[in-house]
Amino acid sequence: MSKGRFGIHGGQYIPETLMNAVTEVEKAYFKYKDDPEFNRELTKLYNDYAGRPSRLYYAKRLTKELGGCKIYLKREDLNHTGSHKINNVIGQMLLAKRMGKTRVIAETGAGQHGVATATVAAMMGMECEIFMGREDTVRQALNVYRMKLLGAKVHAIDSGTATLKDAVTETFREWTKRIDDTHYVLGSVMGPYPFPQMVRDFQSVISREIKMQILEAEGKLPDAVLACVGGGSNAIGAFYHFIEDKGVRLIGCEAAGRGIDTFETAATVNTGRVGIFHGMKSYFCQDNYGQIAPVYSISAGLDYPGIGPEHAYLHDIKRAEYVPVTDDEAVNAFEYLSRIEGIIPAIESAHAVAHAMKLAPAMDKEQIMVINISGRGDKDCAAIARYRGEDIYE
């Protein structure tokens, strides 16, 4: 009966009210995913609107400074709207149009998915409403302004911890109120089937490109691919086409906040256990009675108590590794990459850079590492300055 499993994870744990809506998405997705016309349109928007393919850049100075393997950066930060989020949004919006929807709703943490959704909604002439935890609207005020500028309505959510988890909950609630004309553009590889599969497929363009680009540049596959993980969409995108290539280490970098030995963490695989929430079975940070934990990370985009079900499965079968990275380490990496390469990464992506800084020196010179720079860090500058005690506001 149950659909969309990755091992024991995944499924469709949602209210009956939404079941037909989700089934409609599933049917539309399978109808169009291999449709030549749909894919032609998708590729055209990827290229002409989002600016794909994104570059794979050999980080010469970073490689030299760390003194280990060769390091390449996958530049998802160069996409239109400044992150990988647009890959999924374009795909889902094309689908929503074909499903006859005129209105889209979406959750956002750091604001990157909200901005991408508002952007594509503007371009396609669709009504757009974004749900964002109030705490995050403060942390990411600039992105709130961008969304409004793009014509979206932004709802600040006060329930729960007023962060990403609550934004997801509230968007699901909104969807149960208004289904006929509305599609929920879920921003990560999470939620009920078919979202984890569909979002992964739209994001897998990242690893498809990396594979071609690295083979062209080096004539061989990388030894390791690193990406930050909250829900896990940029990571699964960067991992997907390497899953079968067992020689490629896949490393997801979780937000450990103030450390995995504290309660102020969002490192789901490292501190959570299997549970059922937000439409899926997966790992969640929770207490002994299954109450979802109030997680914490400096990064609003990784500040989520769960992880996508495919990551949970890749962890279970030991195909991918999930490592914790603290706020401090991420902020150091944010500043380091800015200084060494002239690339300001999103604080989310900086978590992957931070782990690369630990791992690269221990790898051989002939080995190759790819770090997915999932987004650009302009949005984080004020918050990082505040973290360092400089009182600047946008």
Per CB under 8 A, residues contacting another protein are: 1-3, 11-21, 159-160, 165-166, 169, 172-173, 176-179, 273-279, 284, 286, 288-292
- For residue 360, the minimal CB distance to another protein (Å) is 39
Residue closer to another protein, measured from CB, 29 or 334: 29
* C-alpha span between 196 and 12 (Å, rounded): 11
- For residue 163, the minimal CB distance to another protein (Å) is 12
In the set 26, 76, 107, 348, the catalytic residue is 107
In the set 129, 204, 374, 379, the catalytic residue is 374
The yes-or-no answer on residue 348 being catalytic is: no
Residue closer to another protein, measured from CB, 277 or 334: 277
* C-alpha span between 118 and 124 (Å, rounded): 10
The yes-or-no answer on residue 24 being catalytic is: no
- For residue 122, the minimal CB distance to another protein (Å) is 27
Judge contact between 278 and 168, C-beta under 8 A: yes
- For residue 322, the minimal CB distance to another protein (Å) is 21
Residue closer to another protein, measured from CB, 54 or 182: 182
Question: Which amino acid belongs to residue 236?
Answer: I
- For residue 346, the minimal CB distance to another protein (Å) is 26
Residue closer to another protein, measured from CB, 2 or 47: 2
Give how far Cα 261 sits from Cα of 230, 265, 266, 271, 357, Å: 18, 8, 11, 9, 22
In the set 70, 74, 85, 281, the catalytic residue is 85
The yes-or-no answer on residue 83 being catalytic is: no
Judge contact between 190 and 338, C-beta under 8 A: no
- For residue 1, the minimal CB distance to another protein (Å) is 5
Judge contact between 116 and 81, C-beta under 8 A: yes
Residue closer to another protein, measured from CB, 38 or 284: 284
- For residue 87, the minimal CB distance to another protein (Å) is 27
Judge contact between 39 and 337, C-beta under 8 A: no
Residue closer to another protein, measured from CB, 197 or 207: 197
Residue closer to another protein, measured from CB, 277 or 336: 277
Catalytic residues: 85, 107, 374
